[in-house]
Structure 1
Amino acid sequence: MAELKNEIIEKMQEIVENCMGDSQAACVSTCPMNTNVKEYVKLIGENKGEEAIKVIREKLFIPGVLGRICAHPCESNCRRGEEDNSVAIASLKRYAADNYDREENWDLEKITSNGKKVAVIGAGPGGAQGALDLVKKGYEVTIFEKLPVLGGMMRVGIPEYRLPREVIDKEYSLLTKLGVKINLGVEIGKDIKFDELLNSYDSILVAVGRQNGRIDKSVPGVEGTGVYHGAEYLKEISLTRNFKGVGNRVVVIGGGDVAMDCARSSKRLEKVQEVISIPLENSYEAMASSNHEIHGALEENVKFKLGYGLNKIIRDENGNIEKVQIKKCLSLFDEEGRFNPKFDEENTEDLICDTVVFAIGQGVDSSFDENKVLSLRGNGTFDCDMLTRQSLSNEKVFIAGDCGNAFIVIEAMAEGRRAAKSIDRYLNGLDLKEGRNIEDEGGYKTKLFLPNEYLPEGWDSAEKVNRRVPGTLPSDKREKNFLEVERAFTEKEALEEANRCLQCECKLCMKECIMLNDYTDCPKHLFEEYLEKGHEEMEAKIAYSCNMCDQCTLKCPKDFDIKSNFAGMRSEYVKENHGKSPMKGHKAIEVHQYLGYSKMFNTTNEAPSGKKTKYVFFPGCSLPSYNPEAVGNMLDHLQNKLNGEVGSLLKCCGKPPKALGQDDLFKERFKSVQDELDKLDAEYVIVACQSCYGIFKNYSKQKVISLWELLPEIGLPEGQVGIGKGSDVTFNIHDSCSIRNMTKIHDGIRWIVNELGYEIEELENSREKTRCCGFGGMIVPAVPEVATKVMNRRASETTTGHMITYCAACRESMEKGGADAQHILDLVFGETYTKAKSAKRNKGPVGQWMNRYKAKSELKKRK
């Protein structure tokens, strides 16, 4: 038994490690701030904007900003995007912020001051996020920002037509509302020494931006007036809506978003007449910039020279730029995949201009650290632990944002939050890493995947909504002004776009299984608890609530065998309970088994005199207890069609102890069945019960034949063909879950009904997709409340009110659930069935055992 227990543990462990039941949708997992995207998009789709903005603000303090400028990795990984176009998540965030974000609803709760002080260098999103989290934890936080405005490089690097300054100011006001002290226009290293901060504060968060732009000094003519880098260019335009050194004709070098920002900003300056963008890439698709940025530039009449690089800058006799010479770019990368552009030096072209802006990259300004307290990486960013953000050279200092590992705003915020958590631990003497992982505090790739067959029904219908795109300010209205270009969604557009969301999750087994929902939110958590506690501390009722129907596995994208875990748990409970089920209700099964194996209700019969017993008819337990006459009539029919070589055996196959986990008792019981078959020297067992079919197929020496496979081969009793023609009843067929994969049996049943002449209307959940009747797993006496729910659900699925089963136990369940239910042999040996003949047929235990005894007599008299 110990070996079996290890097998159970291994199966459970596999589910714990690989079940996707608690895996986040990709939009949530890939958001560095782990924003509950799925939930707020759903709420917007339900027109619950106020609830949606509450969900957003649980993680994000600048929803309006991010709704406009976030690089939205969530959208890049959206499952909908694999089918047509991803959901416009950022635009939906903006819709919620613009329409429902009220300052009076902002969360201003914070812990009473603890007297410890933290300095934050930089008021960009990373520094601001860190400051907010720390002030809420009771720290006295002071931000030092060398710019005269809040927002850092986000404010002076992203043009106003993309990000209105009033949006930043409104959302950043949360800092002062919470008590963060902000010192603008203060440059660390000049106005205040970095060493002074180290001595005056308990901890420091360094969150400076990449404000040092790059200029390619190798280009001839680059030295002199009229040449600028993108960072300084955008900064001055952001602060003044002008640039003093700009001329009439601007050339922008580069193909990324900063280059597009420089080009589009230039078009808004009064003095500028022409702007030319020169990217190395030879197509718009290959450019590093976002598609919408390129599209916006084209709408604003920015000209492009695709696939060129700057060769030299040509100046006049006064040193002013006269023109630039560009050369054709042949390739960007070498054979090793490194960026190493190659040019055709003979293929050149001159462009008249007076201003050159380099947008080819930016670096961190670390000059504030005069004494080199902080160690640097090769790329100029500060070296720190990826999780905790603690500097590797000074434990008091933490790093976040552009100067750390972030490339986009939302990543900077995530680093600021991680740094704040670490600072709190550091100042309280706690381990910085204990219980933490990057997945909980940053974006990660989810385990969740949804094959097409598991997508919500109807998502790809003819009426499906294509991705909504926010409207924009007409291009002719953008000239020489900084009005916001992109509009917010209307309510109609927002609702339509939000409802494109597939609400990705893997809860398919939970949606299908009634039982699991009583005990867990997904199989992973249930088996995780089992492995942690051991079955001794787990309620036995859980294991005995499983119907053993396999529907969970059928729904599972990974085909996890879940029921075998419950079966294994049952075996362990039985082992520890001296061979018996721990469920009180199963005492009724013990009585049933006692009677089922007693001589009073058993009989073994050879074929009629003079005939070899080649076949043995095994009707099972439920059918003889329901319709003993049909059992006798079927034996007559089999003997008539199979040359009289049919005997019979009335006995339980042993399925009940098998289902309860009484493995040793099952072996003993089935051996008694096998002994009777061996006495008859039979070659085949013909079974009418689907549970018996499984038992004999797996354990019997004889070959097993389902009665429902056999009847289409030998035909129906004489006079019954067409008897149902003209009936006012149309039947649904309930297929037994224990033979869900036995197509031949399914076909056989339908052949029989068609031959009888009755009309059939197929259920949605039929054949291999059938649902349990509620009887499986012996749960009726043990957990009746679960069994009742399963019965009611299945019976309610009837579309006609009349159900055919080919298992007498299933028939009983369907009737208990409220459907008119017939066993197929009721029709095979009965008169024409009509609606007027609908009646309750269930009998109590006494009546069933009386029928069982009658069935014994029916079989004996036909030997």
Structure 2
Amino acid sequence: MGKATGFLEYKRVKPKKRSPEERIKDWNEIRISRDPDVIKTQGARCMNCGVPFCHGGVLLNGMASGCPLHNLIPEWNELIFKGQWEDAYKRLTRTSPFPEFTSRVCPAPCEGACTEGYIMEPVTINSLEYEIIERAFAEGWVKPRKGKATGKRIAIVGSGPAGLSAAYYLNAVGHDVTVYERSDRVGGLMMYGIPNMKLEKQIVERRFALLKESGIQFVLNTEVGKDISAQELVDQYDAVVLCAGATKARGLNVEGKDLKGVHFAVDFLKANTKSLLDSKLQDGNFISAKGKNVIIIGGGDTGTDCVATSIRHGCESVYQFEIMPEPPAERKEESNPWPEWPKKLNVDYGQEEAISLYGKDPRNYLISTKKIVGNENGEVSEVHTVEINWVKSPSGRMVPQEVPGTEKIWKADLVLLAMGFLGPEDTIANELKLDRDPQSNVKAEYEVFKTNLDKVFTAGDMRRGQSLIVWALQEGKLSAREVDKYLMGKSVIK
């Protein structure tokens, strides 16, 4: 605790962002650094709460409560207040391999569990993490890590957060690590699934350069199970860690789902970022929303990213459909008590931009899509919806019930499906005959990460299903520990 009365003296100051009117004109990152005095006082707001629930990293009611990486948050908050920035960086990276990623795209379950947030506004943990890691890069404190060579060779499939985390820790203890990535750039969904304005790709490339300098080998444009068999990796390496993600997108089973102009959100976002990086969108190899009426089916971060991307293309209009009710403005203690993740209305950057441009929030709640209608050329032209209520079925489950007379037709030229992911693709799991769980994820016990096949481990979304980046980083770290134990009999990875 930096200052005993800091939480009483200073109010929460949100992260500083460029104005919506400015940022929708480009693809640059929307966040900017804050005044040093503000950073100091925000660190001082961390109170001596006795039991820092922000460390937690547990699941409560199916959602993360506290940091899954178990970041030592009060400690680096105090160091920020005292101006000991390098010590704050060292403390942060004792538990977190890549704070530059989590500080930008993690929804901050640490803040949801902050003790101060029980009766006041929580500490701005996420933005303080951002300030620490950016100061560390600016000052040259971030160095490549490589341990004494063990002679053991490990293959990692996938260069998303779980794969990079596993590679980072295994390389740091001296193993020879090779990462296989099917795309032409490293990062998985961090590279192509998250828009540039939320995570500039030079940030990913900056870390990639450090990992290469530390000795990690990267094999790009190589799809395991297609360009090289998964069995070859098992035969050639001392261990294999599968971190290929949960990339099988959830579809919409309604009439018209195959019309031209209906796309998975992830395909829309991937193509846009690749074209932006390859040619600044000059090659035309992306799905454009320019001049179009855009309907996004699904909420969450992906839906928000689609809103923001469509606006930057110059769409005519953009709406989001969410089948769930609108969250309350504040946490409901009776059904969503602290320190659970607070289920309350959040106006994210994409909605902020839509409100600035169109004068209203693009989200529409309790809406179910009945069918998608096309024109004579097979192109989407309308989306037909109905309002719903959630009611309890005879079995006790909550099910949607249509509200008579609420049918509506929406003009649409582009429909984006942002309804999450079903699980990992089947190629590798089928080839290696890996056990799967009921959700089709590769089966491996948490904190063990070993599959039913000797030498083969799995971590991240491929094991747990679609989840937060911070869980992927933690699973990458812990799977590295288990691989290290498997090869060496013990591990110093914590």
Instruction: State the TM-score bracket (shorter-chain normalisation).
Output: 0.7 to 0.9
Q: Quick one: structure 1 residues 108 and 161, their matched pair in 2 at CA, closer, same or farther if it must change by over 3 Å?
A: closer
Give CA deviations for 1:517-547 in whole Å, capped at 9, x if unaligned: xxxxxxxxxxxxxxxxxxxxxxxxxxxxxxx
Q: 1:298 aligns with which of 347, 352, 355?
A: 355
In 2, Cα distance between the equivalents of 1:91 and 1:226?
38
Q: 1:267 aligns with which of 289, 311, 316?
A: 311
Give CA deviations for 1:709-743 in whole Å, capped at 9, x if unaligned: xxxxxxxxxxxxxxxxxxxxxxxxxxxxxxxxxxx
Contact 1:62–1:168 at 8 Å: present in 2 too? no
**How far did residue 172 of structure 1 move?**
3.0
**How far did residue 56 of structure 1 move?**
1.4
Identical pairs, percent? 26
Report the secondary structure of 1:347's partner residue: coil
**Residue number in structure 2 paired with 1:220:** 255
**How far did residue 377 of structure 1 move?**
1.3
**Residue number in structure 2 paired with 1:36:** 72
In 2, Cα distance between the equivalents of 1:34 and 1:141?
26
**Residue number in structure 1 paired with 2:372:** 313
In 2, Cα distance between the equivalents of 1:230 and 1:289?
22
Report the secondary structure of 2:464's partner residue: coil
In 1, Cα distance between the equivalents of 2:430 and 2:270?
24
Contact 1:53–1:101 at 8 Å: present in 2 too? no
Q: Quick one: structure 1 residues 167 and 359, their matched pair in 2 at CA, closer, same or farther if it must change by over 3 Å?
A: same
Q: Quick one: structure 1 residues 206 and 394, their matched pair in 2 at CA, closer, same or farther if it must change by over 3 Å?
A: same
Aligned 1:80-159 pairs, distance under 5 A: 80-102=116-138, 104-159=140-195
Q: 1:231 aligns with which of 261, 266, 280?
A: 266
**Residue number in structure 2 paired with 1:758:** none
**Residue number in structure 2 paired with 1:852:** none
Contact 1:123–1:207 at 8 Å: present in 2 too? yes
Contact 1:210–1:403 at 8 Å: present in 2 too? yes
Q: 1:62 aligns with which of 98, 105, 112?
A: 98
For 2:250, give the aligned amino acid. R
Aligned 1:537-686 pairs, distance under 5 A: none
In 2, Cα distance between the equivalents of 1:197 and 1:334?
49
In 1, Cα distance between the equivalents of 2:432 and 2:145?
38
For 1:134, give the aligned amino acid. L
**Residue number in structure 2 paired with 1:381:** 441
**How far did residue 388 of structure 1 move?**
1.3
Q: Quick one: structure 1 residues 94 and 337, their matched pair in 2 at CA, closer, same or farther if it must change by over 3 Å?
A: farther
Q: 2:416 aligns with which of 357, 360, 368?
A: 357
Q: Quick one: structure 1 residues 244 and 288, their matched pair in 2 at CA, closer, same or farther if it must change by over 3 Å?
A: farther
Q: Quick one: structure 1 residues 410 and 86, their matched pair in 2 at CA, closer, same or farther if it must change by over 3 Å?
A: same
Q: Quick one: structure 1 residues 94 and 246, their matched pair in 2 at CA, closer, same or farther if it must change by over 3 Å?
A: same
**Which has the greater radius of gyration?**
1
Contact 1:230–1:358 at 8 Å: present in 2 too? yes
For 2:158, give the aligned amino acid. G
**How far did residue 315 of structure 1 move?**
1.0
In 1, Cα distance between the equivalents of 2:214 and 2:51?
32
Q: Quick one: structure 1 residues 353 and 109, their matched pair in 2 at CA, closer, same or farther if it must change by over 3 Å?
A: closer
Aligned 1:333-372 pairs, distance under 5 A: 334=393, 338=397, 340-363=399-422, 364-372=424-432
For 1:292, give the aligned amino acid. D
2:287 equivalent to 1:244: yes
Query: Which ranges of structure 1 fall in alignment gaps of 5 or more residues?
Result: 1-20, 442-863
Contact 1:121–1:143 at 8 Å: present in 2 too? yes
Contact 2:230–2:432 at 8 Å: present in 1 too? no
For 1:239, give the aligned amino acid. K
Contact 1:122–1:152 at 8 Å: present in 2 too? yes
Report the secondary structure of 1:268's partner residue: helix
In 1, Cα distance between the equivalents of 2:273 and 2:461?
19
Give CA deviations for 1:311-368 in whole Å, capped at 9, x if unaligned: 1111112211111111111127646664632222542011111111111121321323
2:203 equivalent to 1:191: no
Q: Quick one: structure 1 residues 109 and 284, their matched pair in 2 at CA, closer, same or farther if it must change by over 3 Å?
A: closer
**Residue number in structure 2 paired with 1:394:** 453
**How far did residue 397 of structure 1 move?**
1.0
Q: Tell me the number of residue pairs that the alignment of Structure 1 and Structure 2 aligns.
A: 411
Q: Quick one: structure 1 residues 215 and 377, their matched pair in 2 at CA, closer, same or farther if it must change by over 3 Å?
A: same
Give CA deviations for 1:260-291 in whole Å, capped at 9, x if unaligned: 21122111114x22111111234254888844
In 1, Cα distance between the equivalents of 2:396 and 2:307?
29
Q: 1:181 aligns with which of 209, 217, 220?
A: 217
In 1, Cα distance between the equivalents of 2:73 and 2:84?
14
Q: Quick one: structure 1 residues 232 and 77, their matched pair in 2 at CA, closer, same or farther if it must change by over 3 Å?
A: same
Q: Quick one: structure 1 residues 129 and 312, their matched pair in 2 at CA, closer, same or farther if it must change by over 3 Å?
A: same
Q: 2:237 aligns with which of 201, 212, 219?
A: 201
Give CA deviations for 1:653-703 in whole Å, capped at 9, x if unaligned: xxxxxxxxxxxxxxxxxxxxxxxxxxxxxxxxxxxxxxxxxxxxxxxxxxx
CA RMSD of aligned residues (A): 2.6
Contact 1:254–1:360 at 8 Å: present in 2 too? yes
Contact 1:402–1:412 at 8 Å: present in 2 too? yes
In 2, Cα distance between the equivalents of 1:425 and 1:211?
29
Q: Quick one: structure 1 residues 289 and 64, their matched pair in 2 at CA, closer, same or farther if it must change by over 3 Å?
A: farther
**How far did residue 255 of structure 1 move?**
2.2
For 2:486, give the aligned amino acid. Y
Contact 1:122–1:206 at 8 Å: present in 2 too? yes
In 2, Cα distance between the equivalents of 1:245 and 1:345?
35
In 2, Cα distance between the equivalents of 1:109 and 1:222?
48
Q: Which has the higher contact order (CA 8 A, sep 6+)?
A: 2
TM-score by length of 2: 0.77
Contact 2:146–2:174 at 8 Å: present in 1 too? yes
Report the secondary structure of 1:368's partner residue: helix
**Residue number in structure 1 paired with 2:54:** 27
Report the secondary structure of 2:120's partner residue: coil
**Residue number in structure 1 paired with 2:326:** 283
For 1:79, give the aligned amino acid. T
For 1:368, give the aligned amino acid. I
**How far did residue 382 of structure 1 move?**
0.8
Report the secondary structure of 2:177's partner residue: strand
Q: Quick one: structure 1 residues 297 and 36, their matched pair in 2 at CA, closer, same or farther if it must change by over 3 Å?
A: farther
In 2, Cα distance between the equivalents of 1:251 and 1:22?
45
**Residue number in structure 1 paired with 2:20:** none
Contact 1:146–1:185 at 8 Å: present in 2 too? yes
Report the secondary structure of 1:365's partner residue: coil
In 2, Cα distance between the equivalents of 1:26 and 1:402?
25
**How far did residue 304 of structure 1 move?**
3.1
Q: Quick one: structure 1 residues 85 and 423, their matched pair in 2 at CA, closer, same or farther if it must change by over 3 Å?
A: same
In 2, Cα distance between the equivalents of 1:341 and 1:257?
23
Aligned 1:395-414 pairs, distance under 5 A: 395-405=454-464, 407-414=467-474
**Residue number in structure 2 paired with 1:326:** 385
2:481 equivalent to 1:421: yes
For 1:236, give the aligned amino acid. A
Q: Quick one: structure 1 residues 193 and 171, their matched pair in 2 at CA, closer, same or farther if it must change by over 3 Å?
A: same
2:81 equivalent to 1:45: yes
For 1:268, give the aligned amino acid. R
In 2, Cα distance between the equivalents of 1:352 and 1:164?
33
In 2, Cα distance between the equivalents of 1:101 and 1:263?
31
In 2, Cα distance between the equivalents of 1:93 and 1:161?
18
**How far did residue 371 of structure 1 move?**
2.2
Give CA deviations for 1:421-470 in whole Å, capped at 9, x if unaligned: 1111111246x9xxx9xxx96xxxxxxxxxxxxxxxxxxxxxxxxxxxxx
